[in-house]
Amino acid sequence: MNTSLIRTLLGYLLMIAATVALFFAVRGYGEGLAAPEAATVAAGASRPPAASHPLLHLLLALAAVILLGRLLGRLFAMFRQPPVIGEVLAGICLGPSLLGRLAPDVAHFVLPDSVAPSLSIVAQLGVILYMFVVGLELNVGILHKQGHVTLAISHASIIVPFSLGALLAIWLYPLLSSGGYSFTSFALFLSVSMSITAFPVLARILTDRGLHKTDLGVMALACAAIDDVSAWCLLALVVGVAHSQVTDALWVTLLTLSYIVFMFAVVRPLVARAVPRFCPQGLTPGAMAALLVGMLLSAVATEAIGIHAIFGAFLFGAVIPHDSQIAEQMSEKLSTLVTTLLLPAFFAFTGMRTEIGLVSGTEQWLICLAIIAVATLGKFGGTLAAARLMGQGWRDAASLGVLMNTRGLMELIVLNIGLDLGIISPTLFAMMVLMALATTIATSPILHALIPSVAALPARSRGAEVARSV
């Protein structure tokens, strides 16, 4: 074992030990705090009964979301924003925050409560297929060369915001918790929500800017994947603590690690041998069906484990050789349909559930700004410091920090879980959604300032850009 790896391992263990010690110190102080007496009534509780004809409303909702998302996407493209921002804001505009206030009857007709379960299924399928495409284009060889670097940077980008989130909980618990859970559950949940990186949104930003196959893009995707798997394990721990079932979280962590090892140690070699043997002419209908079945079964496995189906889809895509003809053709066939029809539904559905009007008054807006500042400091600062310590240049380290500060969709999923459990209040939920949007909107312009174009990247990164044609 070389000296550099030993230093990395020791530093990693010290980071974890310091984080655990800090959290227990915060917990010891925070358990003496009192929660608010009553929580705010959840947004949307006074909506009229669900409408009939769910298929009609589902089709109408999809049409409205796609049209408005495309219009807003084009508008925000003028400000160097990815289309995902327009798609999320389309959902917010069609939901209770805007259309629901201006024309509640119209909002209920376009997006009634009855359409939510169906739209949710379409949205989940969209992001599962999209992350499968992202996995198909992932160059695992680059990741293997700098695996310990990626792991260290990823976990530093969790540990720092996690610690700051625990400290922030001391201030927010008496003000904005739901009052239904202890300080420990609230602090754990807030810490985890500060640690999230939006894997699908980050992948979309990298793809839109043509960076997803560069060294920087691959490292960012790998860091985000490790980040979110770790965060889902931590979230399972939070839910376990809230329900007094910590052993469930430990099982999730163990099964997740075992499944990742199984996919790369067993499935990847089998697929590498099977692709040239059974698909010498490229993608056939039978091969496409087999790949989709494998992707779905992998998604089922991770969903059953408890870390979300999108990671199973991504892992299955990642074990298929990225430079093979079958991976390239599969990606081309799926990309347009997924990004045009299915993926916007996923982003819009999460935006629809946001009620920005719950944040009111100068004090609450100042709290919201403080949440955004702490979240950015933790995620960007932790990633930047770790990347520099691991030998990355200032520009690459800063770019990684900006990318890892992207939250978006995965943050909204976590926040909805916290709201459904009653750990956070609807007002804090709205503030955290605004934080997710603010950090995501900030990503593209800052990234453009750091990396104006793919052509400006070093030659070693440009080489990865043409990997699929080799």
Question: What pLDDT is attached to residue 126?
Answer: 85
pLDDT digits (tens, 9 = 90+) for 289-319: 889 999 999 999 988 887 778 888 888 988 8
pLDDT digits (tens, 9 = 90+) for 55-71: 888 888 888 888 888 88
Mean pLDDT along residues 348-365: 79
Question: What pLDDT is attached to residue 46?
Answer: 43
Written as six digits, the tokens of 235 are: 């979230």
Written as six digits, the tokens of 165 are: 């989130």
Of the chain, the percentage scoring pLDDT greater than 70 comes to 83
Question: What pLDDT is attached to residue 297?
Answer: 94
Q: How confident is the model at residue 118 (pLDDT cuts 50, 70, 90)?
A: confident
Q: Which of 26-30, 194-198, 378-382 has the highest mean pLDDT?
A: 378-382
What's the CA gap between 436 and 443, in Å, rounded?
11
- Judge contact between 423 and 176, C-beta under 8 A: no
- Judge contact between 365 and 359, C-beta under 8 A: yes
Q: Can you tell me which residue has the tokens 């910590």?
A: 246
Q: What is the pTM of this model?
A: 0.74
Domain ranges in the chain are: 53-465
Written as six digits, the tokens of 29 are: 């102080």
What's the CA gap between 65 and 347, in Å, rounded?
10
Average pLDDT, the chain: 78
53-465, CATH topology level: Na+/H+ antiporter like fold (1.20.1530)
- What sections of 306-451 are H helices per DSSP? 309-318, 325-337, 343-352, 362-389, 394-404, 409-421, 426-450
Question: What pLDDT is attached to residue 429?
Answer: 86
Backbone angles phi, psi at 53, to 5 degrees: 55, 65
Of the chain, the percentage scoring pLDDT greater than 90 comes to 8
- Judge contact between 435 and 378, C-beta under 8 A: no
- Of 59, 43, 87, 101, the closest CA to residue 350 belongs to 87
